[in-house]
Structure 1
Amino acid sequence: MSSKGPDLQDFMPSSSFVPQRSALNRTNLSDFLLLLIISIGGTRLLLPVFDGFFLSLPWSDDAVNAARLALGLMLHSLIALITTWFIFFYRRQIKLKDIELGPWSNQWLRTALPMAAPIILTTLLINYTISLLLGDSFNNPQSTVVETLGHTPSSLVVLITGTLIIAPVLEEIIFRGLLLGWLELKMSRLKALMVSSLAFALVHGAPLLVPALFVAGMGFGFARQKAKSLWPAIVLHAIFNGLSVLLILSAPA
């Protein structure tokens, strides 16, 4: 009696899932570019409007910078959320089921948890290797954001809400739900996974973090492909962000 190990196809969704996502054919590349332009440009246009208000506050420079950064993060998320809804869900009439975001099930947690450690350890190793190569010139912009916000209760609320809830849900809807789903209709699943992961890494605007974010994106996308649901990717993303923030907060000053 012969025993055969699991094949890679055992961990990939069957081809039958592609026609079920055909509603994504209603979108195109210009929709994603428009989302990117409005999300980034809208924040940069609106945030300076509040500069006068911040300067009028009897706060220290550190407190003003933290408040301005928190507002910028919230504005960016709100603009991205509204734009995503309008372009894809209202204008293109895409439904949540089309991006494989259905009801929650505990099985999504069981799918995500075993994948968390390999993704986190790999990205930590990548960043550690880059830091060894670059020395003092390696600057993690995520550390700068956390340090600017500070360790006050209000800043921790902003961090927890943004990194564990808003970013995982919104970014996974965009990159693993909409973009990866659309690309899977245009090319092989592996190519689609790689392209969407690269876009995910580049859009963060941190060149030194691109390799680690690319690997993280590959892990999140593979989880969605394996489970045929967006929930495992959201869970993995939340775990990844939460641990990243925890490591930054616990690092010696």
Structure 2
Amino acid sequence: MANSQSPQPRHLPLTASDLLLILILGLGSARFLLPAIAAMFDLRALVAGDHRVSVVMTMLALQTLLLLFVVYLVAVRWRGVTWQELGLVPLPRIWGGRAVAIAMLSFPLMGAVSWVQQQIVREEFRNPQLTAMAPSEFSWAAYLGTLAVAGLLAPLVEEIVFRGLLYRWIRERYGFVVGVIGSALAFSLLHGIAGLIPAIALLGAILAWTYERAQSIWAPVILHGTYNAVVTTVLYAALAQGIKPPGM
């Protein structure tokens, strides 16, 4: 009698050294490559001028694409991981709206966590990302460019890396809870913003839970992209009104 049960998905054929290699090459090398590119084209003057946001977003896009290329080389080409195994499978229809709703509910949660941290450390909150991504005044070009990178490109690549790759690898070996905590901590620490580590870790946990439930990387991509898009829109709406948001 034939076995009617669907086959269990295989474990990702990656070692801890492979993951470390991806992080070092994909994230670490960008810290050396991007400054070299900036020096080569003498971008320091542009960063300090009116084209600062365009330059910063271009560099962020290059860093993000470099990370995706490294994942492709190490995981896909070298180790034989398929894109489907990294979560790029069709999204259940119900999860599109759910992901957007979860993104909106995440705002008050992250705000509360950041407020509690600020009360504990007694330091003024600063977010260098807001300073880097915002011009001195509203600009449609800067807004749309930031939206494309922060709301589309970065969420797609980061979800493939942190949920499709890192979370799944940890979960397969140590279970759901450790997978959520480990991938969330890595997600927050590698963003490098001390004042937002607890809040970003919370968002990382929500993204991992969403991926676990939806079983498609597109659910956390939509959630992550919606979150970043709303933050970007609120930031530029404030600039259009001549308001300087807190944290800048």
TM-score by length of 2: 0.83
- My pick for the range that moved more, 145-154 or 98-107, is 145-154
- My pick for the range that moved more, 114-123 or 77-86, is 114-123
- Contact 1:224–1:230 under 8 Å retained in 2: yes
1:42 to 29, 41, 45: 29
Q: Which residue number in structure 1 is paired with residue 132 of structure 2?
A: 145
In the aligned structure 1, how far is the partner of 2:136 from the partner of 2:151?
Answer: 16
Please state how far the C-alpha of 1:222 moved relative to its aligned partner: 0.6
Please state how far the C-alpha of 1:231 moved relative to its aligned partner: 1.5
- Contact 2:91–2:219 under 8 Å retained in 1: no
- Structure 1: 5+ residue stretches without partners: 1-15
Q: Which residue number in structure 2 is paired with residue 10 of structure 1?
A: none
Query: How many residues in Structure 1 have an aligned counterpart in Structure 2?
Result: 235
Please state how far the C-alpha of 1:93 moved relative to its aligned partner: 0.9
In the aligned structure 1, how far is the partner of 2:7 from the partner of 2:190?
Answer: 26
Please state how far the C-alpha of 1:207 moved relative to its aligned partner: 1.4
Q: Which residue number in structure 1 is paired with residue 50 of structure 2?
A: 63
Please state how far the C-alpha of 1:107 moved relative to its aligned partner: 2.3
The reply to whether residue 231 of structure 1 matches residue 239 of structure 2 is: no
Q: Which residue number in structure 1 is paired with residue 86 of structure 2?
A: 99
1:53 to 16, 23, 41: 41
Please state how far the C-alpha of 1:126 moved relative to its aligned partner: 1.6
In the aligned structure 1, how far is the partner of 2:39 from the partner of 2:75?
Answer: 32
Please state how far the C-alpha of 1:210 moved relative to its aligned partner: 0.7
Please state how far the C-alpha of 1:221 moved relative to its aligned partner: 0.8
In the aligned structure 1, how far is the partner of 2:129 from the partner of 2:148?
Answer: 16
Q: Which amino acid aligns with 1:90?
A: R
In the aligned structure 1, how far is the partner of 2:47 from the partner of 2:210?
Answer: 44
The secondary structure found in structure 1 opposite 2:80 is coil
Alignment of 1:75-114 (within 5 A): 75-114=62-101
Percent identity over the alignment? 24
Please state how far the C-alpha of 1:209 moved relative to its aligned partner: 0.7
The reply to whether residue 175 of structure 1 matches residue 162 of structure 2 is: yes
Cα 1:238–1:64 shift into 2, 3 Å: closer
| Larger helix proportion of the pair | 1
- Contact 2:184–2:204 under 8 Å retained in 1: yes
TM-score by length of 1: 0.82
Aligned alpha-carbon RMSD (Å) = 2.6
Cα 1:173–1:17 shift into 2, 3 Å: farther
In the aligned structure 2, how far is the partner of 1:194 from the partner of 1:98?
Answer: 21
- My pick for the range that moved more, 93-102 or 61-70, is 61-70
In the aligned structure 1, how far is the partner of 2:110 from the partner of 2:6?
Answer: 30
